[in-house]
């Protein structure tokens, strides 16, 4: 992996974040754009960030708009119950059993404060019980609003895997930033939008607000970038996944077809590029919300291990992981998509052409409606 991409990835995966408490990642993206020429950054009324890349003069009819979310399941400090006990709000989907004696880390400026979960308060019962707050023994008092995450090792990029607290969705965010970095270096012609949304983990709150506010230009093909739990049919390491849909819905066929056509062309040019095309029905992703709001939308994801830090092997909190090669191919695919903005068609042109060829080929036979005995 290129040194600049390695740095972006490690930086992004090291920043603390939680639903509605994404300010540190937002600051990082602001800084990132400041150091690079040719990018326009805007913040919508809900705090979502939109970065635009534009080179060349011709119009781009349907530019791509990649979107990734800035949050990951986590804690936000509420108040000190006594000198050593912090009550923190929890937001995100993690099973209650994983909280028992859980080790947590809070970020106060450059300093981190460690803590251990004493007890949790839940809403609902049995398998539906959702943790709402946790009382955490901490070494020193913490101010309200401090962000906390599971106390896991710092991110690591290995030859096979990238391991971190929050691949979901900081690997997606980093993939988009690596694409922007590359675009700013080589300045190919094209137009691309990069939306960074807030509070996905509690139900696409930032994404829906972006739709209502008109943050994404209507002409865009929206591509939601995610990590999604590995499936028997979509393995980590077999390439980034083009999602035809999720647990809730099917995405826009033309948008999915466009990503596929671009990927097939890229695979022809670049031997190391592989991708998969699957229904990832382990969860629902923001693409479903974009489709619901009338956008042409689809999704691309990285197959993820230890989804939401729920370690599969030891049934304990663990680092999430994705494939290093999948990540590198994801970035290549993004760049190719930005450059191909002008080839998007609301109809699957390639498929239609193939059908028309068959129609022509068999037209004579179809016209002949006599039965064999009449011949």
Query: CB 367 → Zn ion: shortest distance, Å?
Result: 55
Query: CB 228 → Zn ion: shortest distance, Å?
Result: 9
Query: CB 110 → Zn ion: shortest distance, Å?
Result: 27
Q: Which residue is nearest to Zn ion (CB)?
A: 168
Query: CB 71 → Zn ion: shortest distance, Å?
Result: 8
Query: CB 307 → Zn ion: shortest distance, Å?
Result: 7
Looking at the Cβ atoms of 168 and 181, the one nearer to Zn ion is 168
Query: CB 363 → Zn ion: shortest distance, Å?
Result: 51
Looking at the Cβ atoms of 137 and 284, the one nearer to Zn ion is 284
Looking at the Cβ atoms of 86 and 224, the one nearer to Zn ion is 224
Applying CB under 5 A, which residues contact Zn ion?
168
Looking at the Cβ atoms of 71 and 326, the one nearer to Zn ion is 71
Q: Can you give the three-state secondary structure of the chain, one letter per residue?
A: CCHHHHHHHHHHHHCCCECCECHHHHHHHHHHHHCCCCEEEEECCCCCEEEEEEECCCCCCCCEEEEEECCCCEEEEEEEEECCEEEEEEECCCCHHHHCCCEEEEEECCEEEEEEEEEEEEECCHHHCEEEEEEEEECCCCCCCCEEEECCCCCEECCCEEEECCHHHHHHHHHHHHHHHHHHHHCCCEEEEEEEECCCCCCCHHHHHHHHHCCCCCCCEEEEEEEEECECCECCCCCCEEEEECCCCECCHHHHHHHHHHHHHHHHHCCCCCCEEEECCCCCCHHHHHHHCCCEEEEEEEEEECHHHECCCCCCECCEEEEHHHHHHHHHHHHHHHHCHHHCCCCCHHHHHHHHHHHHHHHHHHHCCCCHHHC
Query: CB 321 → Zn ion: shortest distance, Å?
Result: 14
């Amino acid at each position: 992996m290129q040194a600049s991409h390695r740095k972006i990835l490690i930086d992004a995966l090291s920043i603390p974040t939680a639903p509605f408490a994404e300010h540190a990642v937002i600051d990082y993206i602001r800084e990132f754009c400041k150091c690079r020429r040719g990018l326009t950054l805007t913040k919508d009324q809900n705090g979502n960030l939109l970065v635009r890349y534009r080179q060349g003069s011709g119009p781009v009819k349907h530019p791509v708009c990649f979107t990734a979310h800035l949050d990951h399941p986590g804690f936000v400090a509420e108040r000190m119950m006594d000198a050593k006990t912090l009550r923190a709000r929890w937001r995100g989907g993690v099973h209650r059993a994983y909280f028992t004696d859980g080790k947590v880390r809070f970020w106060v400026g450059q300093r981190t404060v460690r803590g251990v979960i004493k007890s949790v308060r839940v809403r609902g019962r049995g398998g539906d019980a959702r943790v709402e707050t946790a009382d955490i023994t901490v070494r020193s008092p913490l101010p309200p609003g401090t962000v906390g995450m599971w106390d896991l090792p710092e991110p690591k990029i290995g030859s096979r895997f990238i391991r971190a607290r929050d691949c979901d969705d900081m690997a997606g965010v980093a993939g988009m930033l690596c694409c922007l970095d590359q675009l700013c270096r080589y300045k190919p012609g094209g137009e691309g939008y990069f939306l960074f949304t807030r509070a996905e983990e509690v139900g696409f709150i930032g994404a829906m607000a972006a739709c209502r506010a008109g943050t994404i230009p209507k002409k865009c093909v929206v591509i939601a970038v995610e990590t999604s739990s590995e499936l028997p049919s979509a393995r980590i390491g077999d390439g980034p996944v083009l999602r035809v849909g999720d647990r809730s819905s099917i995405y826009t066929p033309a948008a999915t077809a466009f990503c596929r056509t671009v990927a097939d062309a890229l695979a022809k040019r670049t031997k190391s590029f592989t991708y998969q095309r699957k229904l990832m029905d382990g969860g629902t992703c923001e693409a479903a919300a974009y489709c619901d709001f009338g956008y042409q939308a689809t999704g691309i994801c990285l197959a993820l291990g230890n989804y939401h830090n729920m370690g599969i092997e030891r049934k304990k909190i663990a680092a999430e992981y994705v494939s290093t090669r999948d990540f590198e191919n994801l970035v290549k695919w993004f760049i190719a998509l930005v450059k191909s903005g002008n080839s998007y068609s609301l109809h699957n042109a390639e498929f239609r052409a193939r059908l028309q060829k068959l129609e022509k080929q068999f037209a004579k036979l179809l016209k002949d409606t006599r039965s064999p005995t009449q011949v």
